[in-house]
Amino acid sequence: MTDEQARDLPPAEPVDTAEPAEPAEPAATWPVEPADTADPVANVDPVANVDPADGVAVARDAIDAVAELDAIDTVDIARGSPERPQPYAELGLADDEYDRIREILGRRPTSAELAIYSVMWSEHCSYKSSKVHLRQFATKALRSEALLVGMGENAGVVDIGQGWAVTFKVESHNHPSYVEPYQGAATGVGGIVRDIIAMGARPVAVMDSLRFGPADAADTRRVLPGVVAGIGGYGNCLGLPNIGGELVFDPCYAQNPLVNALCVGIMRHTDIQRAAAPGPGNKVILYGSGTGPDGIGGASVLASATFDEESARKRPSVQVGDPFMEKLLVECSLELFGEGLVVGIQDLGAAGISCATTELAAAGTGGMRVALDQVPLRDATLGPEEILMSESQERMMAVVEPANVERFLEICAKWEVPATVIGEVTDAPSLEMTWRGRVIVDIPPGTAADEGPVYERPYEPPPTWRACRPTRPDGCPGRATPTSCARPCCGSPRPRTWPTSRG
């Protein structure tokens, strides 16, 4: 063990008597005394049947295994160590938000719980600053019987007559697309396609709305080709034509492009699926790609003893898409829905498993119990906090009645989509997660999913706003009107058609 790793270990603290005694110093625990048969290290005998030359390495592995178990921040440990400092500020939580979590739980959160709240209460997931404004859509919009599903679900559903409905959703993926244009834009499409699947519809088309800095700026030239190719390429692999879009160049978008993608799907009224986990005893199934270290930069401050700085540097902050797996998810999910095997469904996007479990449980009839060890991993070194925060793409979570689990897994096997039962719905009002047999999460799911902070930030129009405000729809040069948006491209030496001729 390096000194750096040793520093990452939690400080010795008073522990709950229900836990196996924590060593003050990991090295002092060797040779290992099996303390608990549920512990993986109980079966590790560091000195049996080994070549003396390998003995040191084996012993080091055993010490690491013990250190990993001791590093697990369980609910019991959290109860017994209220003063342990936690890196909530590094995870983006404000002091009062952290205090609120402690108030909800009646104790400090475990590191896994802190991971969940930090991502679920982030601006990205909770819309804590924009919620007060967005709510106006629910209160001010005209009532319509054509709106079959409104705010709160993965996507809206609109009746188009004769028993048919369309569902569509538009979502931005701005920053990832600026960092890594192709993958950022591609996974933006992947995310909204899964939202459409989660509603029970077949995705049929994609559109996009793009804003870049000046067309001749070097940065635009770096970002634009990848964004256009990423949107087109990912959708094309799913058979989704890009049926339209818009493109505007304006200096205000330099270094800050806007990349919005829309997916539309069609379905029968009777096909509508909901994101909820009802029915105690029902199984929770994770299906699709394995969970890897995508998009979990923030989790590094929760690093366990096995997560060293070297591997942290290798971890991508932008997710990488696998459109073939997404295509399998489309077909597999529609077949599962067709046979009536699913009682609740949620796609995994931002905040991954944290979001899917808390939202499904909060919208269900009770709680949920999840064994995080069961989550299939692409990187075996991932700790529970990283698994909870991972934004690996092409994953879905379904709630299935026990009698239908076998058939569910059969259909997944037919499409060669990995599927794993990772938990079940309970009638307790809590979301409970275990890791290596120990309880590391025990929270009321609604507090993470629905009851995040809401802020009324001060706002005012920018000084230049009034001057720019159009008096007529086409009265503002440089804004997004059909005539003006084509204009900035005209001076470009590039052919104007290529971003729009990619089907």
Partner 1 sequence: MSSRVGVVTFPGSLDDRDAGRAVRLAGAEPVPLWHADRDLRGVDAVVLPGGFSYGDYLRCGAIARFAPIMESLVSAAADGLPVLGICNGFQILCESHLLPGALTRNTGLHFVCRDQRIRIENADTAWTREYTAGQELVIPIKNIDGCYNATAETLAELESDGRIVARYVDVNPNGSLRDIAGICNEAGNVVGLMPHPEHAVETLTGPTTDGLGFFASIGAWIAGGLVTTS
Tokens in use for 38? 């549920």
Residue from 323, 349, 383, 452 that binds partner 1 (CB under 8 A)?
323
Alpha-carbon gap, residue 166 to 284, rounded angstroms? 28
Q: How far is the CB of 407 from partner 1 (least distance, A)?
A: 18
Phi and psi of 225, rounded to 5°? -60, -40
Q: What is the DSSP string of 126-178?
A: H-TTTHHHHTHHHHHSPP-TTEEE-TTSSSEEEEEETTEEEEEEEEE-HHHHH
502 binds partner 1 (CB under 8 A): yes
Task: Yes or no: say if 105 and 443 are a contact pair by the CB < 8 Å rule.
Answer: yes
Task: Yes or no: say if 375 and 384 are a contact pair by the CB < 8 Å rule.
Answer: no
From residue 276 to residue 305, the character string flagging contacts with partner 1 as x (rule: CB under 8 A) and all else as - is ------------------------------
234 binds partner 1 (CB under 8 A): no
- Helices and strands, number each (H, E), in the chain: 19, 13
The torsion region of residue 489 among left (phi > 0), alpha (psi -120 to 50) and beta comes to alpha
Pick the stretch among 139-147, 249-257, 403-411, 495-503 that binds partner 1 (CB under 8 A): 495-503
Alpha-carbon gap, residue 162 to 164, rounded angstroms? 6
Residue tagged active-site, from 124, 133, 175, 269: 124
Number of residues binding to partner 1, judged by CB under 8 A: 19
The torsion region of residue 25 among left (phi > 0), alpha (psi -120 to 50) and beta comes to beta
- Residue whose token pair is 């559109």: 207
| CA-wise closest residue to 243 among 218, 209, 267 | 209
Between 484 and 500, whose beta carbon lies closer to partner 1?
A: 500
Pick the stretch among 234-242, 287-295, 347-355, 363-371 that binds partner 1 (CB under 8 A): 234-242
Q: How far is the CB of 224 from partner 1 (least distance, A)?
A: 14
Alpha-carbon gap, residue 192 to 326, rounded angstroms? 11
79 binds partner 1 (CB under 8 A): no
Q: How far is the CB of 178 from partner 1 (least distance, A)?
A: 22
164 binds partner 1 (CB under 8 A): no
26 binds partner 1 (CB under 8 A): no
CB contact set of 28 (below 8 Å; sequence gap of 6+): none
From residue 239 to residue 268, the character string flagging contacts with partner 1 as x (rule: CB under 8 A) and all else as - is x-x---------------------------
Q: How far is the CB of 319 from partner 1 (least distance, A)?
A: 17
Identify residue 376 by its one-letter amino acid code.
Answer: P
Residues forming beta bridges with residue 260, ordered by sequence position: 172, 209
181 binds partner 1 (CB under 8 A): no
Q: How far is the CB of 330 from partner 1 (least distance, A)?
A: 10
232 binds partner 1 (CB under 8 A): yes
Q: How far is the CB of 503 from partner 1 (least distance, A)?
A: 3
Pick the stretch among 229-237, 346-354, 361-369, 379-387 that binds partner 1 (CB under 8 A): 229-237
Alpha-carbon gap, residue 189 to 260, rounded angstroms? 9
From residue 189 to residue 228, the character string flagging contacts with partner 1 as x (rule: CB under 8 A) and all else as - is ----------------------------------------
Burial class (CB in 10 A: 0-12, 13-18, 19+), 314: exposed
Burial class (CB in 10 A: 0-12, 13-18, 19+), 84: middle
Residue from 102, 175, 327, 479 that binds partner 1 (CB under 8 A)?
327
Alpha-carbon gap, residue 329 to 323, rounded angstroms? 10
Pick the stretch among 5-13, 18-26, 187-195, 323-331 that binds partner 1 (CB under 8 A): 323-331
321 binds partner 1 (CB under 8 A): no
Between 195 and 322, whose beta carbon lies closer to partner 1?
A: 322
Task: Yes or no: say if 215 and 177 are a contact pair by the CB < 8 Å rule.
Answer: no
The 10 Å Cβ neighbour count of residue 58 is 17
Between 164 and 498, whose beta carbon lies closer to partner 1?
A: 498
Three-state DSSP state, 365: coil
500 binds partner 1 (CB under 8 A): no
Q: How far is the CB of 325 from partner 1 (least distance, A)?
A: 8
Known active-site residue 133: no
Known active-site residue 175: no
Alpha-carbon gap, residue 381 to 360, rounded angstroms? 27
418 binds partner 1 (CB under 8 A): no
Residue from 415, 422, 448, 452 that binds partner 1 (CB under 8 A)?
415
Q: How far is the CB of 320 from partner 1 (least distance, A)?
A: 12
416 binds partner 1 (CB under 8 A): yes
Q: Which residues are catalytic?
A: 124, 173
The contact set with partner 1 (CB under 8 A) reads: 232-233, 236-239, 241, 322-324, 327-328, 331, 415-416, 498, 501-503
